[in-house]
C-alpha cells in the first residue's frame, strides 16, 4: 500500500525500488498488493520490480473494493467484479498470472457459493495459482472452505487480518480457525498504525492539516485513525514494548514484530514501510529473540478477554465434568 504517492503519503518509485532491493537482498520473495492501492500505481511499481525475475516472487493481489466510485460493478465480491479486477491487475503487474489472489473484504451480499466457484474457475484457467481471504468473519471462511472441500473447488489457503499487540481480538475465533484449517496468516497493521513504534508516547498533538488537496485529505483521515489507536491502553502497551526494546538493545518496532513471530501457527507479518530505513529496521526483527519473561510482560500488558464460549470451555470445573474427571489423563486432545 505504501508503493506510490497518489494518496499523498506513500513512497516514490525510486524509494519503492530501494525498499524492494533491500527486501530481496535479505531473502524476501512474498509481495502483497491490491488493485486499488494508490489507485493502481502500487501494482504498476510491483510489476516493474519483478519483471526481470518474475517466477522468483510470490505475488499476491486483491479484489473487492470499487475502482470507480459510483459504479457498483467495479467492486464487491461477485463474479463480474472478480474477473474484471483480475484482468486489470494482470495488465498493471505485467504478468499472465498471480500466485495468490485475495478476496479483500466480505461484502455480505454475494453468495459464498458464487465466490468459491468463480475463484475456482480462475485457478483452473491458470491465471491464479492460489486463493486467500482477507477481512472476513471466521464463520464465513469456514463455510467457504467446507463448500470447496465438498465440491472439489480450490479452498482458501491464507487469511489476512489485522493483528498486533494492540489488536488481539482475532485470537477469539479467526486465529484458532486458521490453525484448524491450516491457513497461513498474513497480519496487517502489525505496528498498530504506528502506535507500537512508540512515536505517540509523550508526543504533542498533531497540528490540523489543510484539506485543500486530495492527498492531504487522505493524510488527515489517516492521522485521525491513528489517533484513535493511540488511546490510553494502547499507549500503555507501547510503553511496555519500549521497555523490552531497551532491555534488548533494539527498537520497539522490532519487538512488536518479533512477538508476532512467536505466535502459534504459520504467521507472515506484512511490512508497510514508507522509507528504506524503516524496512531495514523491520527486517532486523529476525535478529531479536524474546525471552519467556519478555513474552510474559507483553502478554500481561496486551491480553484480552476471550469471552464466551472460550472462557466457558476453559473453566476447570466444567471441563472436569465434561470429561468425567479424566481430562488430565488425555494425551491427545484438541481445543483449549
**37 an active-site residue?**
yes
Which candidate, 191, 196, 194, 197, places its Cα nearest to that of 163? 191
Contacts of 231 (CB under 8 A, 6+ apart): none
CA dist., res. 188 & res. 115, Å (int): 23
Residue with cell 472436569: 320
State the helix-helix crossing angle for 112-125 and 79-93, rounded to 10 degrees. Answer: 40
CA dist., res. 182 & res. 3, Å (int): 30
- Taking a C-beta distance cutoff of 8 angstroms, is the pair 128, 85 a contact? no
CA dist., res. 84 & res. 74, Å (int): 8
Indicate the DSSP class of residue 27. Answer: T
C-alpha cell, 31: 509481495
**Cα angle: 218, vertex 220, 226; to 5 degrees:** 105
| Helix, coil or strand: residue 305 | coil
Choose the catalytic residue: 37, 63, 130, 200: 37
Residue with cell 524496512: 279
The residues that are catalytic are: 37
Amino acid at each position: 500500500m505504501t508503493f506510490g504517492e497518489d494518496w499523498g503519503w506513500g513512497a516514490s518509485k525510486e524509494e519503492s525500488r530501494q525498499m524492494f532491493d533491500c527486501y530481496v537482498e535479505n531473502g524476501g520473495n512474498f509481495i502483497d498488493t491490491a488493485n486499488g492501492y494508490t489507485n493502481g500505481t502500487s501494482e504498476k511499481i510491483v510489476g516493474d520490480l519483478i519483471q526481470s525475475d518474475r517466477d522468483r516472487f510470490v505475488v499476491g493481489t486483491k479484489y473487492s473494493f470499487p475502482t470507480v466510485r459510483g459504479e457498483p460493478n467495479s467492486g464487491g465480491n461477485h463474479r463480474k467484479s472478480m474477473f474484471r479486477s483480475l484482468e486489470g491487475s494482470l495488465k498493471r503487474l505485467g504478468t499472465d498470472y498471480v500466485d495468490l489472489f485475495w478476496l479483500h473484504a466480505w461484502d455480505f451480499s454475494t453468495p459464498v457459493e458464487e465466490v468459491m466457484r468463480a475463484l475456482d474457475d480462475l485457478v483452473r484457467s491458470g491465471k491464479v495459482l492460489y486463493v486467500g481471504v482477507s477481512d472476513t468473519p471466521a464463520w464465513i471462511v469456514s463455510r467457504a472452505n467446507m463448500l470447496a472441500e465438498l465440491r472439489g473447488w480450490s479452498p482458501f489457503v491464507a487469511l489476512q487480518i489485522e493483528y498486533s499487540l494492540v489488536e488481539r481480538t482475532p485470537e477469539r475465533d479467526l486465529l484458532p480457525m486458521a490453525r484448524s484449517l491450516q491457513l497461513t496468516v498474513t497480519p496487517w497493521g502489525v505496528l498498530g498504525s504506528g502506535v507500537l513504534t512508540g512515536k505517540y508516547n509523550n508526543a504533542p498533538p498533531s497540528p490540523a492539516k489543510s484539506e485543500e488537496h486530495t492527498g492531504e485529505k487522505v493524510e488527515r483521515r489517516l492521522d485521525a485513525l491513528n489517533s484513535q489507536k493511540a488511546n490510553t491502553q494502547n499507549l500503555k502497551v507501547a510503553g511496555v514494548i519500549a521497555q523490552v526494546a531497551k532491555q534488548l538493545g533494539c527498537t520497539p518496532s522490532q519487538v512488536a514484530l518479533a512477538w508476532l513471530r512467536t505466535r502459534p501457527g504459520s504467521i507472515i507479518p506484512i511490512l508497510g514501510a514508507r522509507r528504506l530505513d524503516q524496512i531495514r529496521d523491520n527486517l532486523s526483527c529476525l535478529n531479536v529473540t524474546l525471552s519467556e519473561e519478555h513474552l510474559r510482560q507483553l502478554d500481561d500488558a496486551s491480553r484480552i478477554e476471550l469471552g464466551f464460549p472460550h472462557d466457558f470451555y476453559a473453566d476447570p470445573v466444567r471441563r472436569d465434568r465434561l470429561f468425567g474427571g479424566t481430562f488430565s489423563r488425555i494425551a491427545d486432545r484438541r481445543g483449549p
